[in-house]
Chain A
Amino acid sequence: MTIARVLGSVTSSIHHPALNGAKLLLVLPFGTSRAGLAVDGVGAGTGDTVLIVEEGAVAANYLGRTDPPVKSVVVGIVDVGLSVAEA
């Protein structure tokens, strides 16, 4: 699992059916300079510090589908006090 900051959201009207109804977030893992994308599983928003899991079985639970072509999921919003300590 990694901790990242949410930079914004991404929309995609042409996408794989597994992403139907999913909200995609642009996330920047701490200590890196390259952002990635993740499915939002907890209602996170821009500026939040979040916990990300990269595992297809976890994504399957959130997307309600077996074998989705997705592994990156936001599974938690890190408390402000902890995020300051981490940074």
Chain B
Amino acid sequence: MGWGRVVGAVVCTVKEPSLIGVPLLLLEPLNQSFATAGRPFVAADAIGAERGQIVIYETAREAAGAFAHRPPVDAAIIGIVDQTVRS
């Protein structure tokens, strides 16, 4: 599980039927200092995130569990970050 910034959206007219209605967003992974930490990737959005928001994502087979019908995805957005507390 990690966090990243929503930097865009992906639209596919032709797609696997179970992906219909599943928003696909472009995510830029971030490190602990909110700096870019890798190449952007596509994640299925389970909670209604918007561009610019910092979101929580999970990868691999568990990502499909974000949706009741378990679409074929390997990354899912599962939360929007409010704040972090460090000491």
Q: Are B60 and A71 in contact (CB under 8 A)?
A: yes
A26 to B54 Cα, complex, angstroms: 14
Chain B interface mostly: mixed
Q: Give which listed residue, A7, A8, A46, A70, contacts B1 with CB less than 8 A.
A: A70
Q: Are B62 and A10 in contact (CB under 8 A)?
A: no
Residues of chain B at interface, number, CB under 8 A: 33
Q: Are B37 and A34 in contact (CB under 8 A)?
A: yes
Any A CB within 8 A of the CB of B40: no
A-B contact pairs, 12 of them (CB 8 A): A7-B86, A8-B84, A12-B81, A16-B47, A18-B78, A37-B2, A38-B1, A47-B87, A56-B62, A69-B64, A69-B66, A71-B1
* Proximity bits, B28-61, A CB within 8 Å = 1, else 0: 0101100001100000001110000000101111
**Set of chain B residues within 8 Å of A7, measured between Cβ atoms:** 32, 86
State the Cβ distance, A38 to closest chain B Cβ, in Å: 6
Q: Are B82 and A9 in contact (CB under 8 A)?
A: no
Q: Give which listed residue, A16, A36, A56, contacts B78 with CB less than 8 A.
A: A16
Cβ-closest 3 pairs across A and B = A8-B86, A15-B79, A69-B66
Any B CB within 8 A of the CB of A49: no
